[in-house]
Amino acid sequence: MSHPHPVESHVFYRKLTRQYPLISRGQGCYLYAADGRRYLDACGGAFVANLGHGVGEISEAMAAQAERLGYVNGTAFTHEPVEELASEIARLSPGDLSLVYPLCSGSEAVEAALKLARQYWAECGRPGKRKILALSPAYHGNTLLALSASARAHYTTWFGDWLVPVTRVPASYSYRCECRGRPPHCPACSGEAFEQALLREGPDTVAAVIAEPVGGSSTGATVPLPEYWRRIRAACDRHDVLLVADEVLTGAGRTGTWSALEPYGVVPDVMVLGKGIAGGYVPLSAVVAPPRLVDMLARGSGALLHAQTFSHHPTLCAAGVATLRYLRTHRLIKRCAEMGRVLHLRLERLRGLPLVGDIRGRGLLAGIEFVADRHTREPLPRAAGFAEAFTAAAMDAGLVVWPSVGHADGHNGDLVMLAPPFIITEDQIEEIVHLLERALRAATERIGAAR
Ligand SMILES: Cc1ncc(COP(=O)(O)O)c(C=O)c1O
């Protein structure tokens, strides 16, 4: 049974031209609809449900906290859940990243991190350092500063003149870069493009670069070369530019380590977390920063100039604490790395099938890019709507995947992303791959007429 729309429903839906299945329950890796259908949640909603659905420990911790203390404002009080969440995130985070500013969404935390960067330089007596560099393609959120930093053209359709200028640097997107990921590497993949952009802008005018350490949906889980982040880090150090790692999607273990930058041996100046840090049980995000930055604010304005009613929220923080405890107790980040290897091995079965151009990723994060021609990597015409057709066919087969479009050239490009809960089993991975094969056959037939 589909939820009625729009005649009998008052919900302003995310997509206004489709009917939604009514989900009444989630358990483990599965979602159960009111009509009895079952869906294997292979993307954790939007890279969020890292623990799986229906974990009693999280809901119990939230309920207990809401009963004890539902809300106090972060300007007046501190409380146990925020203290505990901050200590736990500080313990997990690399280098000197030890101060945690909790918010709700990833977009809010990105905004706060960028404001922190600019405020820091202003309070250091260098207010000219105010520009932001960001990669393209990339996604950092949909509020206006976060959207300004994002290179996803379609979200800006009507709002371009409300955005602030951000300098774009070609992202390391090896499937579509000049070098196709092979040496000698092109400037985008080697990091040279970043150094050039920084010098072109004038480092004295640049506050920060913000980037996803491993690509999210905009480059379909592209993993940059081992030396890429060290080169960016070194350039930032040379020129006093803050490196802001947007780990909203990749953090909290999604790529098999607490942060996706960890395997590169690089510590950012600011890390942004979101999505998985409360497993989707509540909206929770965080800016993680070192005392060397925050102390400047303490000596200057006395606060980060980013005030939100629901920052440092007791119940949200309690959900975060319970999530991190659950990850630790059940060794789920290690499991994510192990199951990630199984996922990527099994996904290899799809390589070589019609329209499958590339499969990539790390840990339990994978992107499958579809193309019209595997040799030239020519994208499918956008009008064919392949990613959407694939996602619909997967849903029909009982599998939830995350579609993404437009990354090939700003308009064309079809990707689907996978990000199953860390509790996924080998059998369930097999089920995912089997359903992907089915969806591929059905979607290829569906778009047949449109091509
Ligand atoms: C890398 C990245 N940053 C920021 C965001 C924004 O997070 P939110 O949608 O919670 O505002 C997202 C969301 O998809 C993301 O993937």
Domain count within the chain: 2
Give pLDDT, residue 1: 44
Taking the CA atoms of residue 158, residue 162, residue 166 and residue 167 in that order, the dihedral angle to the nearest 10 degrees is 60
Residue nearest to atom 3 of ligand 1 (CA): 140
pLDDT per residue over 64-84, tens digit each? 999 999 999 999 999 999 999
Boundary (domain end) residue, out of 329, 357, 375: 329
Contact 274 CB / ligand 1 (< 6 Å): yes
- Asked if residues 270 and 293 have their Cβ atoms less than 8 Å apart, the reply is yes
Residues 48 and 62 both lie in one domain:
no
Residues 98 and 245 both lie in one domain:
yes
| Mean pLDDT, rounded, for 202-222 | 97
DSSP string, 200-212: HH-GGGEEEEEE-
Residues 38 and 134 both lie in one domain:
no
Structure tokens at 11: 């919900």
- Residue 136 DSSP class: E
Whether the per-residue pLDDT at 447 is higher than 90: the answer is no
Contact 362 CB / ligand 1 (< 6 Å): no
Instruction: Return all residues near 31 (Cβ < 8 A) that are at least 6 apart.
Output: 23, 25, 38, 39, 41, 53, 400
What CATH number should be reported for the domain holding residue 440? 3.90.1150.10
Whether the per-residue pLDDT at 353 is higher than 90: the answer is yes
- Asked if residues 204 and 177 have their Cβ atoms less than 8 Å apart, the reply is no
Q: pTM for this one?
A: 0.97
Structure tokens at 226: 């081992």
Whether the per-residue pLDDT at 4 is higher than 80: the answer is no
Boundary (domain end) residue, out of 279, 308, 329: 329
Residue 451 pLDDT class (50, 70, 90 cuts): low
- Asked if residues 278 and 284 have their Cβ atoms less than 8 Å apart, the reply is yes
* Closest by Cα among 272, 298, 284 to 209: 272
Residue 379 pLDDT class (50, 70, 90 cuts): very high
Give pLDDT, residue 227: 97
Instruction: Return all residues near 416 (Cβ < 8 A) that are at least 6 apart.
Output: 367, 368, 370, 387, 390, 391, 394, 401, 402, 403, 404
Whether the per-residue pLDDT at 386 is higher than 70: the answer is yes
- The amino acid at residue 112 is A
Region of residue 163 (phi > 0: left; psi between -120 and 50: alpha; otherwise: beta): beta
Contact 212 CB / ligand 1 (< 6 Å): yes
Residues 112 and 202 both lie in one domain:
yes
Contact 248 CB / ligand 1 (< 6 Å): yes
pLDDT per residue over 301-314, tens digit each? 999 999 999 999 99
Residue 449 pLDDT class (50, 70, 90 cuts): very low
Distance CA 153, CA 147 (A): 10
Distance CA 402, CA 417 (A): 5
Residues 269 and 375 both lie in one domain:
no
- pLDDT over 70, % of the chain: 98
**C-alpha 400 to ligand 1 mean position (Å):** 19
Contact 428 CB / ligand 1 (< 6 Å): no
**C-alpha 151 to ligand 1 mean position (Å):** 13
Atom of ligand 1 nearest to the CA of 143: 11
| Mean pLDDT, rounded, for 431-442 | 98
Distance CA 267, CA 222 (A): 20
**C-alpha 302 to ligand 1 mean position (Å):** 28
Cβ neighbourhood burial of 240 (10 Å; 0-12, 13-18, 19+): middle
**C-alpha 7 to ligand 1 mean position (Å):** 31
Residues 91 and 117 both lie in one domain:
yes
Distance CA 135, CA 197 (A): 11
**C-alpha 114 to ligand 1 mean position (Å):** 14
pLDDT per residue over 249-280, tens digit each? 999 999 999 999 999 999 999 999 999 999 99
Q: What count of Cα atoms within 13 Å lies in the side-chain half-sphere of residue 269? A: 25
What CATH number should be reported for the domain holding residue 196? 3.40.640.10
| Mean pLDDT, rounded, for 116-144 | 98
**C-alpha 274 to ligand 1 mean position (Å):** 7
Contact 113 CB / ligand 1 (< 6 Å): no
Residue carrying structure tokens 């313990």? 91
Distance CA 224, CA 296 (A): 33
Residues 206 and 278 both lie in one domain:
yes
Residues 251 and 362 both lie in one domain:
no
Give pLDDT, residue 251: 98
Q: What is the mean pLDDT of the chain?
A: 96
| Mean pLDDT, rounded, for 10-33 | 96
Boundary (domain end) residue, out of 304, 329, 354: 329
For residue 389, the surrounding DSSP H or E stretch is helix 386-397
pLDDT per residue over 89-118, tens digit each? 999 999 999 999 999 999 999 999 999 999
Q: How many CB atoms lie within 10 A of CB 62?
A: 23
Atom of ligand 1 nearest to the CA of 250: 1
- Residue 384 DSSP class: G
Structure tokens at 224: 């940059």
Which domain, by its residues, includes 304?
Answer: 57-329
Helices 228-239 & 192-201 angle (0-180, nearest 10): 20
Give pLDDT, residue 153: 84
The SS3 call for residue 246 is: strand
Contact 250 CB / ligand 1 (< 6 Å): no
Give pLDDT, residue 63: 98
The SS3 call for residue 124 is: coil
Contact 260 CB / ligand 1 (< 6 Å): no
Contact 140 CB / ligand 1 (< 6 Å): yes
Residues 305 and 347 both lie in one domain:
no
- Asked if residues 187 and 170 have their Cβ atoms less than 8 Å apart, the reply is yes
- pLDDT over 90, % of the chain: 93
Give pLDDT, residue 69: 98
Which is more confident, 151 or 52? Answer: 52
Ligand 1 pocket mutation pick from 14, 48, 111, 139 by most atoms within 8 angstroms of CB: 139
Residue 293 pLDDT class (50, 70, 90 cuts): very high
**C-alpha 444 to ligand 1 mean position (Å):** 30
CA-based R_g, the chain, Å: 22
Residue nearest to atom 16 of ligand 1 (CA): 249
Give pLDDT, residue 152: 85
